[in-house]
Structure 1
Amino acid sequence: MKPNFRYLDKPALAPVPGCDWADKMVLNPAIVKDPASDKIHMLFRATGPWPQKRREGCHDPYPIFLGYATSDDLGLTWDADFSRPALAPALGYEEHELYTTDIYGNRVRNYANGCVEDPRIFEVEGELR
């Protein structure tokens, strides 16, 4: 099926002032259309200051989260849930949280600590993953 592209005169979603996890950026969405309806599901990347994990003497961290939104009109308008992230990263500063063990038993930096990168949605055996 060939996608039908439209260009809007404004962003589909924008940062939400005062939303700790989506105050500064909302970007890089992954979308999929429900084949049985006109509903579209979106996962989007977002960030904002996260004062809950501020370390003494440091600025607020800006971890990367995934948010969720839907559209019932083929993407003309979107309903995003900014009440909480759909997926949040581990946010640890303790020594045991900053490192992990790789498959060879080596102690390595835990790069999953602080960021959930760009979402991807695809179909595998009839199910969305």
Structure 2
Amino acid sequence: YRLGIFGFLSTKDEVIKGNMGLKDQVMALKWIQENIVNFGGDPNQVTIFGESAGGASVHLMMLSPMAKGLFHRGITMNVAGTSDVWHFKQDVLITKNSVAEHFNCSTKSEEFAQCLRKVDEDSLASYNLNILSWNNFQ
């Protein structure tokens, strides 16, 4: 699933909705439901497991109506999905604005999205490290 600005950047409107990383995980669960019988599995006995950020993902999947019925048990270790241990350093709009400033993009949602499409993925990935935070290491 996509991480950082690739998976969780948002303009807080319909342009870049955010949470694409979690939506990627829901798509994976849908794929499992559609294909598990081909691997000898039971679509009614799907268990998901995650540790650390994966544990938070499991917790969020357990809470999400989008994932309802796609798995039947969840095992989470170390982090709750509602914990503030891992997140963007600041409010998502401040993060969006800092990304816009760094890449000389407008902060207007449509123009921002168009501008980001022109930035190469290596530059985005490098900048991604600047906006992620682990509160326990600050």
TM-score by length of 2: 0.23
Higher strand share: 1
**Greater RCO, 1 or 2 (C-alpha within 8 Å, sep 6+):** 2
TM-score by length of 1: 0.24
